[in-house]
Amino acid sequence: MAKKAFKSESKRVLDMMINSIYTHKEVFLRELISNASDAEDKLYFRSLTDDSVKMNREDFKIEIKADKESRTLTISDNGIGMGQKELEQNLGTIAKSGSADFVMNNELSDDVDIIGKFGVGFYSAFMVADRITVISKAFGSDEAWKWMSEGADGYTVTECEKDSVGTDIILKIKESTENEDYDRFLDCYRIKELVKQYSDYVHYPIVMEMDKARKKEDSDEYESYKELETLNSLTPLWRKNKKDVTDEEYKNFYQSKFRSYDDPLAVIHQKAEGTANYTALLYVPSQADYNYYSKDFEKGLQLYSRGVLIMDKCPDLIPDCFSFMKGLVDTEDLTLNVSRETLQHDRQVSVIRNALQSRIKRELADMLKNRREDYVKFFNAFGLQLKYGLYQSFGQDKELLEDLLMFHHAADDDMITLQEYLDKMPEDQKYIYYASGDDLPKLASLPQTDTVRKKGYDIIFVTEQVDEFMLSILHDYKEKEYRSITSGDLGFENDEELETVKNEQNERKELLDFVKEALNNEVSEVRLSGNLSDHPVSLTSSGPISIGMEKVLNSMPTGEKVKADRILQLNNTHHAFKALCEAWDADDKDRVKLLSEILYDEAQLIEGLPLANPTAFVDKISNLF
């Protein structure tokens, strides 16, 4: 029988697993039990709609057998099973892209539960076994197949015999060494402990034959016997009373149930009665999953009906802005065999969703108020999602989310909320000022930053693509409008300086009109500004699209190219403007045109916009020498 090679990236992960020094090797058991339970879920789901499945819920179980003599540990399930193809596909490759890279680039260490996080679950068994045999019969098939591997050099798949549908995973446990006690994985009491620790909440019975001893009848001698025992408690954690559950238990449940490796920042355990009857157990993670901000990510909460899982990821229970939440909802108000489509329109589901939404908001607001450090951690992980939420709901979620936002700002290095910004605002300040750009140091050094700061006003700094769009949709916070510091009107009206600028602008109207024309009407207006400190020019915009938005929109692969309505601002006190005036007064129009073009290109460069013709720009500058 020819051996097949593992797909190359799987092989690398396998190598890592086999040679791993990971100290929590025992998690392999949790992984195999989870896989067994997943397979049973799949067959159970199927039974809801397919009469040919002759299984009831009570019939599902997971069986563990430890045999010290043959050094094998067997985990059997009566779930959906795998056919020849599935054995090759599922066990010959790593499904989740990127996981192999992550494994290779990171030492396996105690604090990163890489196995749970990256779905290399099945392979983790190679940490404790030097041979793995999988015997499986898929539901609906008459054939059974055997997959076998002794490590990274490949696997075989052959036909074999198996009576019932389901899967047996047989591990040939490694010999113990000086540093590692592998024998513990053959000891039924140690196994029982591990099941209790990691898999207690699996909702199918996990049974094992335990070695027991009893007194012989009519004798003082003892005899040993075996007895089947259910190892897990089967009472779901969320059905217990809040006061009977410890923090540690909540955390363990989170980590094993949702394959998370971080410590959650908050736990919400809520029993609701009234318009909706449900129990929810929700977690605020402290870190984003590796694929959270990618297309692969699927939001959703687990949905149970009277303790029975009916959907693994129900997206309708959670709004997009809180899609990072992990957890479950158990309700009595739904029937068992609801389909995805009916759920979407179910009134009960939307009632629950709304209730959860307020509850989550309350939890986050509370964290912000009382546990600032945790909240900052939360916001660094998921703030972006709140912003997208605001943007995508077209501001509908404004009330829900705006108080949860935090921003970097000009006054110091910490982040602040909008309310805190408002609280510190001098009375004469008309707007909430913001600056948008690629990074914080650049924003701090913008010419207009100085101008606004000199007035004693703080500035919010935003650096994400979505930020400006979001602010423009939000429009205002408690009736204070957002205003970009590059905008032409900063609201400093009563400034004498502004008067001077205005007068000069009127005086120089002809020149400014000429500049606009010289630029082929690339800009819709040329005006003077007193807000540029030492810089000769700046580019701003009027209308709904800012220059920053133009950049973002034009960087997207699809869609038409857009152009902001550009306004060229010239610093009336700068010698560049003086030079322009001198050329104009000397009636040297060619020179005015040349200087105008240079100034416009400079303004575009400051804004990080690409120049239409960089060579021409360089030539023009060099010709001035």
Collapsing DSSP to helix, strand or coil, 27 comes out as helix
Q: Applying CB under 6 A, which of residues 78, 84, 100, 121 lies at the interface with ligand ADP?
A: 121
For residue 139, give every residue at least 6 positions away whose Cβ sits within 8 Å of its Cβ, in sequence order, or none.
43, 46, 53, 80, 81, 165
Distance of CA 536 to the CA centre of its chain: 43
CB of 33 vs ligand ADP, minimal distance in Å: 9
Q: Cα angle at 401 between 397 and 406, to 5 degrees?
A: 145
CB of 126 vs Mg ion, minimal distance in Å: 14
Q: Applying CB under 6 A, which of residues 122, 304, 378, 431 lies at the interface with ligand ADP?
A: 122
Question: Tokens representing 243?
Answer: 């006061």
What count of other Cβ atoms lies within 10 Å of the Cβ of residue 313?
A: 12
Distance of CA 501 to the CA centre of its chain: 49
CB of 290 vs Mg ion, minimal distance in Å: 16
| Site for ligand ADP, residues 42 to 81, rule: CB under 6 A | 77, 79-81
Residue 77 interacts, among ligand ADP, Mg ion, none and using kind-specific CB cut-offs from 5 to 8 Å, with ligand ADP
Per rule CB under 6 A, count of chain residues that contact ligand ADP: 17
Burial (CB < 10 A; 0-12, 13-18, 19+), residue 121, is: buried
Residue 26 interacts, among ligand ADP, Mg ion, none and using kind-specific CB cut-offs from 5 to 8 Å, with none
Judged by beta carbon, residue 171 or residue 567, the one nearer Mg ion is 171
Q: Applying CB under 6 A, which of residues 20, 35, 417, 596 lies at the interface with ligand ADP?
A: 35
CB of 50 vs ligand ADP, minimal distance in Å: 17
Q: Which stretch binds ligand ADP (CB under 6 A): 31-39, 373-381, 453-461, 566-574?
A: 31-39
- The reply to whether 31 sits near ligand ADP by the rule CB under 6 A is yes
**Contact criterion met (CB below 8 Å) for 539 and 566:** yes
For residue 229, give every residue at least 6 positions away whose Cβ sits within 8 Å of its Cβ, in sequence order, or none.
192, 207, 208, 209, 210
Judged by beta carbon, residue 187 or residue 312, the one nearer Mg ion is 312
Q: Cα angle at 554 between 550 and 560, to 5 degrees?
A: 105
Report which of 461, 483, 357, 467 is spatially closest to residue 410, judged by C-alpha positions.
461
Beta strands in 471-515 (DSSP E): 476-477, 480-484
As a 3-state breakdown, the chain gives helix, strand, coil percent values, each rounded to 5, of 40, 20, 40
- The reply to whether 121 sits near Mg ion by the rule CB under 5 A is yes
Residue 236 interacts, among Mg ion, ligand ADP, none and using kind-specific CB cut-offs from 5 to 8 Å, with none
| Site for ligand ADP, residues 196 to 225, rule: CB under 6 A | none
Residue 98 interacts, among Mg ion, ligand ADP, none and using kind-specific CB cut-offs from 5 to 8 Å, with none
CB of 167 vs ligand ADP, minimal distance in Å: 4
Could you say which DSSP state residue 147 is in? Answer: E
Judged by beta carbon, residue 45 or residue 492, the one nearer ligand ADP is 45
Q: Which stretch binds ligand ADP (CB under 6 A): 29-37, 286-294, 319-327, 336-344?
A: 29-37
Distance CA 75, CA 65 (A): 7
Q: Applying CB under 6 A, which of residues 16, 17, 29, 39 lies at the interface with ligand ADP?
A: 39
- The reply to whether 92 sits near ligand ADP by the rule CB under 6 A is no
Distance CA 305, CA 311 (A): 9
Judged by beta carbon, residue 34 or residue 279, the one nearer ligand ADP is 34
CB of 78 vs ligand ADP, minimal distance in Å: 10
Question: Tokens representing 47?
Answer: 């039974």
Q: How many angstroms separate the most distant Cα atoms in the chain? A: 127
CB of 38 vs ligand ADP, minimal distance in Å: 6
Residue 300 interacts, among ligand ADP, Mg ion, none and using kind-specific CB cut-offs from 5 to 8 Å, with none
Question: Tokens representing 221?
Answer: 């001698």
Residue 363 interacts, among Mg ion, ligand ADP, none and using kind-specific CB cut-offs from 5 to 8 Å, with none
Residue 228 interacts, among ligand ADP, Mg ion, none and using kind-specific CB cut-offs from 5 to 8 Å, with none
Q: Which stretch binds ligand ADP (CB under 6 A): 114-122, 224-232, 477-485, 523-531?
A: 114-122
Distance CA 589, CA 595 (A): 10
- The reply to whether 82 sits near ligand ADP by the rule CB under 6 A is yes
| Site for Mg ion, residues 17 to 56, rule: CB under 5 A | 35
CB of 254 vs ligand ADP, minimal distance in Å: 17
Q: Applying CB under 6 A, which of residues 74, 90, 277, 505 lies at the interface with ligand ADP?
A: 90
Which three-class secondary structure string do you get for 382-415? HHHHHHHHHHHCCCCCHHHHHHHCCEEECCCCCC
CB of 302 vs ligand ADP, minimal distance in Å: 15
Residue type present at position 242: K
Beta strands in 424-518 (DSSP E): 432-436, 459-462, 476-477, 480-484
Strand partners of residue 595: none
For residue 544, give every residue at least 6 positions away whose Cβ sits within 8 Å of its Cβ, in sequence order, or none.
472
Q: Applying CB under 6 A, which of residues 21, 95, 104, 336 lies at the interface with ligand ADP?
A: 95
| Site for ligand ADP, residues 128 to 187, rule: CB under 6 A | 167
Residue 79 interacts, among Mg ion, ligand ADP, none and using kind-specific CB cut-offs from 5 to 8 Å, with ligand ADP
Residue 368 interacts, among ligand ADP, Mg ion, none and using kind-specific CB cut-offs from 5 to 8 Å, with none
Per rule CB under 5 A, count of chain residues that contact Mg ion: 2
Q: Applying CB under 6 A, which of residues 83, 98, 119, 154 lies at the interface with ligand ADP?
A: 119
Judged by beta carbon, residue 89 or residue 503, the one nearer ligand ADP is 89
Residue 583 has phi, psi (to 5 degrees) of -60, -40
Q: What DSSP string runs through 552-615? A: HHHHSSSS-----EEEEEEETTSHHHHHHHHHHHTT-HHHHHHHHHHHHHHHHHHTTPPPS-HH
Q: Where do contacts with ligand ADP occur on this chain (CB under 6 A)?
A: 31, 35-36, 39, 77, 79-82, 90-91, 95, 119-122, 167
Residues lying near Mg ion in the complex (CB under 5 A) are found at: 35, 121
